[in-house]
A and B are shown apart, each in its own frame.
Chain A
Amino acid sequence: MTALLFLLLAPLFSGSVKWLKARLTHRQEASPLLEYRNLAKLLSKAWVRPGLSTPVFLLGPTLVLLGALAAALFLPLLPGLSFAGDFLVALYLLNLGRFFQMLAALDTGSAFGAQGSYREGLVTILAEPGTLMALGAAALAGEGLGLAGLPVLGPENALVLLLVLASLAVALLAEGARMPVDDPTTHLELTMVHEAQLLDHGGPLLALYELAASVKMLFYAGLMALLLPGPKVLVFMGVVLAWALALGYLETFGVKLRYLRLPDFLSYNTLFGVLALLGAIWKL
């Protein structure tokens, strides 16, 4: 159910961010709903099969989207699936998609694809430990490993959960390929991470990749919503709205970090993760 919701909501989310960015830079804005038509157009198009490509080329978009949707399945926003330790499976499902996305980028034999691919690998190395530690801390502060048993922000666990939220916020920026980690609009090879991997994917393949990127961001927003008090779906909508605003402003007035400065920025993720975990251990 949650996966379906995400699938329907994803184009609206990315469309709204684009709309807001256009507004902020005084350009003629397009309707946020345009993304749906854009996706429909891409899905109906023919795609280009590079001469060097292998079946891995198609596995990339397939598994990225399915992995992200399967991960969303575990979020208990709407009736879904849950068992102990499901947040580990969810994050590793994102990794499954990432593995094949990186391979699909290498598959064409282009230098860009490879660049994007190893940069993605680097971002993963930097972001993954902090995220998992943060979620682990939340699980420790709650009543079990499942996402359904995550604790809700309250006076007794405020510090730990705020750290977890901060860590997840940094992870969302890295995972969604947004500024300051990556610039989703750039086509300058010096800065591209996500886009460089998709260069040779067109038509329906590109549509799947774009959907997957938004679904991933919604997944992280959903994780944050689980930790906040209130009715789940409403809180989730609020978090998503807040993120759309934040991203619009950040990407208008902020800059992308230099590639070699990324470790500095993403180390906050790790730091918050470690502190949250230490806090959770201390309380027990």
Chain B
Amino acid sequence: MSEGVMVSALALVGASLVGLRAWGSGGYALLLGLGGATLVQAGGGMWYGDGSAAGVFLRLLGLLTMALASYVPEYLGHHPKEAPAYAFWLPLFLLAMVGVAQAPPGLPFLFFWEGMALLGYLLVALEGPKAQAGARAFFLASRLSGAGLYLAFLGQGKLGPDWIWAGLLVGFGVKAALFPFHLWLPRAHPVAISPVSALLSGAMTKLGLYGLFQAQTWFGPPPVWVGFALVLLGLFGAVYALVRGLAEEDLKGALAYSSVENLGLMLAALGGYFLTGKVLFLGAFFLHQVGHALFKGLLFLGSGALSERQLSRLGGLWHRMPLLGGLVLLGMAVGAGLPPGAVFAAEWLLYQGFLFAPGLLPLGVGALALVGALALYFYVRLFGLAFLGAPRGNVALHLGPGMRFGLLVLAVILVGLSLFPQEFLRPLGQGLYPSWVPWGLLALAFGLYRWLDRRPSRSYGTWDCGFQPLTPRMQPNALGFSEPALRLFPFLRLKVGERPELDEPLERVYQGVGEGFGWATRLVQALQSGSLHFYLLLQLLTLVVVMGVVLL
């Protein structure tokens, strides 16, 4: 562990202790900021040094921490009752994540891993009774994840690589929202407070990816089926999450589904790397992670400024807060995978990796293109319905100077990464398209925009067909906007009308598993009647059966 990490760990512990007493003070923000800055510094020194990816994660975590340093104290002003608790647990949660990225494999790693899960659970559950279901989903997912990891770490040397990697796939896959295990994420993220969602989605899920990547140095190269599983489940999960997210009415819930999509693409990139060993995939894997952490952090923190998150009750927010609108638009345009965003650069690498992969893998290009088109639709819907058009409800907006600064930090870094992705990819020995292309396009767009804006114009209302004045209710609502696309995917069995309903097929599977489990426990419970006679009878029966088996 380097000195930089030590300094940041101390700063985080300090922030945690200060936060208990004085979460609104400058000292808290300063300590958090110091922790973040040293993490970025420490991460830079060892960026993908000797096959270890810890540097990327430290850097990513540091960037988010720096943004949170100015954001959190002001944000907590809304939750004066729980604020000390949040201020205390949040730095510790960050510390646990630093620990995961730094700990050697084995018990220390598991200690930090479980600590991270526990603290994450606490942070979600703190939000109050509304958050109970989400927190429970998070907790169950953490248990499943832990179980997989125990299997892998304890079985090392005893089990074959197939079993070890199955354990790892479950253990780390759950955290990274691998397809059939992703359901907890859209449940837990929207209920938490915005800074916590930003950390959960931006940083914690990445540690699952980090684990899967590092595992090849800990446990040896993965069997071939692991690569295929990651590619298939990753791509399928990305499409599935976007389709399901298109029907989500809650702004943060939709953002959480978008996280599942992005993580799916990263998992597919990792799978491609496992299968082919091409550095293209690795570039896509790492660049996408940092890009996703930045833009999703920006969007989650931005949504923290709104008091209402139902898309159908938002609208016209741009007029009330153009700065927030602009920053969110930046985040969403990057998230939709548009050039020259960082996410696009990552997808561009992924496309090329798939096209020249052996076997049927080039067909993955179709899935990627579908993801791209769906993401476009997805983000147009979110931004258009929430920030453009006429307002559809009373929404309180709160974005103080400190929160604004936090958002700006993320936005500036995101723009930097989008315009200079080469710098990021250079250590991998991975090239990219010439960077003056996006620059030229942006300069031209700026010029043309200015020209249009200065052409003579007059203000007038929106065209209303001459029948009757337009009202905000004439705009489509959240489900109406996505209904045409959802028709293409009948497995969700959308019912539109007065009370729209959406089926989640996977949820029923989990419910079935839960019911089966409950049935089994009731069976065992029946044995525990508490009556001594019954126990004696059971003992006798067991004895008879055992004797019978032994004798015959």
Interface of A with B (CB < 8 Å)?
Answer: 46-52, 54-56, 58-59, 61-63, 65-67, 70, 81, 83-86, 88-89, 92-93, 95-96, 98-99, 102-103, 106-112, 114-115, 117-119, 121-122, 124-133, 136-137, 139-140, 145, 199-200, 203-205, 208, 260, 263, 270, 273-274, 277-278, 280-281
User: Which of A49, A111, A124 is close to B377, meaning CB atoms less than 8 Å apart?
Assistant: A124
Query: Is the CB of B376 closer than 8 A to any CB of chain A?
Result: yes
The 7 A-B pairs at the shortest CB distance, nearest first, are namely: A106-B384, A121-B377, A132-B369, A109-B389, A46-B456, A128-B373, A109-B390
B462 and A52 contact, CB distance less than 8 A: yes
Least distance between A14 CB and chain B CB atoms (Å): 21
User: Which of B381, B444, B452 is close to A204, meaning CB atoms less than 8 Å apart?
Assistant: B452
B377 and A58 contact, CB distance less than 8 A: no
Query: Is the CB of B476 closer than 8 A to any CB of chain A?
Result: yes
- For the complex, count residues of B whose C-beta is within 8 A of A: 74
Q: A62-B452, A83-B434, A133-B366 are in contact. Are A110 and B458 (CB under 8 A)?
A: no
Complex Cα–Cα for A132 and B371 (A): 12
A125 and B370 contact, CB distance less than 8 A: yes
- Residues of chain B lying within 8 A (CB to CB) of residue A140: 355-356, 362
Query: Is the CB of B472 closer than 8 A to any CB of chain A?
Result: yes
B482 nearest in chain A by CB position: A118
B489 nearest in chain A by CB position: A125
A109 and B388 contact, CB distance less than 8 A: yes
15 sample A-B contacts, Cβ–Cβ < 8 Å, listed by A number: A46-B455, A47-B456, A52-B462, A88-B348, A88-B352, A89-B339, A92-B339, A103-B383, A110-B475, A114-B389, A118-B485, A132-B351, A140-B362, A200-B463, A204-B455
A-B contact count (CB 8 A): 233
B459 and A51 contact, CB distance less than 8 A: yes
Q: A102-B380, A203-B455 are in contact. Are A114 and B336 (CB under 8 A)?
A: no
Contacts A48-B459, A85-B352, A126-B488 supplied; 16 other A-B pairs, CB < 8 Å? A47-B456, A47-B457, A50-B463, A51-B459, A51-B460, A54-B319, A66-B441, A89-B348, A103-B388, A107-B384, A109-B462, A110-B474, A111-B476, A115-B476, A125-B370, A136-B351
- Residues of chain B lying within 8 A (CB to CB) of residue A46: 455-458
Query: Is the CB of B325 closer than 8 A to any CB of chain A?
Result: yes
- Residues of chain B lying within 8 A (CB to CB) of residue A102: 376, 380, 384
User: Which of B339, B441, B476 is close to A118, meaning CB atoms less than 8 Å apart?
Assistant: B476
Interface of B with A (CB < 8 Å)?
Answer: 315-316, 318-319, 322, 325, 329, 333, 336-339, 344, 348, 351-352, 355-356, 359-360, 362-363, 365-370, 372-374, 376-377, 379-381, 383-385, 387-390, 433-434, 437, 441, 444-445, 448-449, 452-453, 455-464, 470, 472, 474-476, 481-482, 484-485, 487-488
Q: A62-B449, A102-B384 are in contact. Are A92 and B352 (CB under 8 A)?
A: no
Least distance between B125 CB and chain A CB atoms (Å): 37
A281 nearest in chain B by CB position: B362
- Residues of chain A lying within 8 A (CB to CB) of residue B367: 129
Q: A107-B388, A121-B485 are in contact. Are A139 and B462 (CB under 8 A)?
A: no
